[in-house]
Structure 1
Amino acid sequence: MDRREAVRNMAFLMGGALSATTIGVFLDSCNSPSTKTNGKLFDDNQLKLITEVADIIIPTTSSPGAKAAGVGPFIALMVKDCYPEDAQKAFVKGLDALEEQSKDQFKKSFLEISPAERTQLLSKLREETIAATKAEQDKQKEADAQKTDPDKAKSQTENAGFASILPKDKPKTEPRFFSIIRDLTLLGYFTSEIGATKAMAYVDIPGRYDGCVDLKPGQKVWA
């Protein structure tokens, strides 16, 4: 199994932890790189910014963080080669907005402010993303409810057992910078060697499979 296949498998294992934009990318697969980026999507400063944001999301603790695992270059590559043009534009716009917010609030570039200040900016961005996503979901639910045909809804309910095994429609939602960089930080880290062997419990020859094993307090989850 190569790295790309491992990333795809991890995406589906994480399920609801990922945004609709990222899930849509993996439903489409990563086999059609964008041809509209002219070979380069990010400048050097943006590449550094991506790396530092990822390291705030997964910092070094008792195990190495995202920067040590090389997650920054992974994120840049995935956005450039796998995400659609609207998500690429939203991601670049988000990087620029984060830099502007840092300068407005702290009078310094994001790369120059302290980890605590970076965390403050990202926490605010996270809350804004959650609120915007919820509003979008509520609006979509309302629209779906208005369009629901009672007879069709009854038919769908009667066939729920059959429909549940069919592939779901690709989720449609507005791409959001924080959601994308959070998704790819998690995917990149936990499919890296450091993430699998340092942050998680890794056994290269696991032996017998036990479907239900109690974890001891403080024990790492299995890779």
Structure 2
Amino acid sequence: MLSRRDAIRGLALTLGVASAGFAGPVAAAMPPLSWTPQALTPDQARLVDVVAELIVPATDTPGARQAGVPQFIDRTLAGWCDQKQGDLLRNGLARMDADARAAHGVPFVALSAQQQTEQLAAYDKEAKAAWGQPHFFKSLKELVTIGYFTSEPGATLALRYDPVPGAYRACIPLSEIGRAWAT
């Protein structure tokens, strides 16, 4: 007959092996952050990092990660969004992880790229169906887009950037210009 001590030792060993087997691939899939989040938890910041890069991936121009979009979203939540907007986004991030765990047994950041893309497509479809209603994924996409195209790489490499649109020539005859601009 097993003693209580042996039963507890066996249970602890079983739980330790099970949790180590589960946490190993997840921990490997979550690289350490190179910045300290202010409004997000480190896990939420990693999730935002992965989602932002899926929305604006690196191609011949830098992606969202290189443009600092996750940091922009964190700063926006910390200093600009009101409580309702922040809660909408944070609850949405929690839902993304919960949905990934329910469907695949791992958090969103540990899913394959295909699984992540499929889950984001489902949220996008859901956000479009909730037309006129606040939806976390719509807010997240807007923040990613704004963060990217107002960053230096987004504004100068992804968009055409002309800081001074043409030389200023004063007092020239209208006949040289032709029609003037309406605005």
Into which bin does the TM-score normalised by the smaller protein fall? 0.5 to 0.7
Q: Which residue of 1 aligns with 2:118?
A: 120
1:202 aligns with 2:161: yes
Correspondence list, 1:80-119, <5 A: 80-119=78-117
Q: Which residue of 2 aligns with 1:36?
A: none
Q: Distance in 2 between matches of 1:74 and 1:201?
A: 22
Which residue identity is paired with 2:152?
E
Q: Which residue of 1 aligns with 2:60?
A: 62
Q: Which residue of 2 aligns with 1:179?
A: 138
Q: Distance in 2 between matches of 1:208 and 1:102?
A: 54
Checking the alignment, whether the CA contact within 8 Å between 2:38 and 2:75 is kept in structure 1 is no
Q: Distance in 2 between matches of 1:204 and 1:91?
A: 34
Structure with more relative contact order (C-alpha pairs < 8 Å, separation 6 or more): 1
Runs of at least 5 residues in structure 2 that lack an aligned partner in the other structure: 1-36, 169-176, 178-183
Q: What secondary structure sits across from 2:130 in the alignment?
A: helix
Following superposition, which runs of at least 4 residues in structure 1 exceed 6 angstroms of deviation? none
Q: Distance in 2 between matches of 1:47 and 1:66?
A: 13
Deviations 1:126-172 (A, max 9, x none): 10011012xxx4xxxxxxxxxxxxxxxxxxxxxxxxxxxxxxxxxxx
Q: Distance in 2 between matches of 1:125 and 1:208?
A: 47
Percent of paired sites with the same residue = 32
Deviation at 1:204, TM superposition (A): 4.2
Checking the alignment, whether the CA contact within 8 Å between 1:86 and 1:175 is kept in structure 2 is no
Q: Structure 1-normalised TM-score?
A: 0.55
Question: What RMSD over aligned residues (CA atoms) do the two structures have, in Å?
Answer: 2.1
Checking the alignment, whether the CA contact within 8 Å between 2:72 and 2:147 is kept in structure 1 is yes
Q: Distance in 2 between matches of 1:183 and 1:121?
A: 18
Checking the alignment, whether the CA contact within 8 Å between 1:69 and 1:189 is kept in structure 2 is yes
Q: What secondary structure sits across from 2:61 in the alignment?
A: coil
Q: What secondary structure sits across from 1:111 in the alignment?
A: helix
Q: Distance in 2 between matches of 1:201 and 1:40?
A: 32
Q: Distance in 2 between matches of 1:116 and 1:62?
A: 21
Deviations 1:54-105 (A, max 9, x none): 1111111121110110000101111221112111111111000000111122
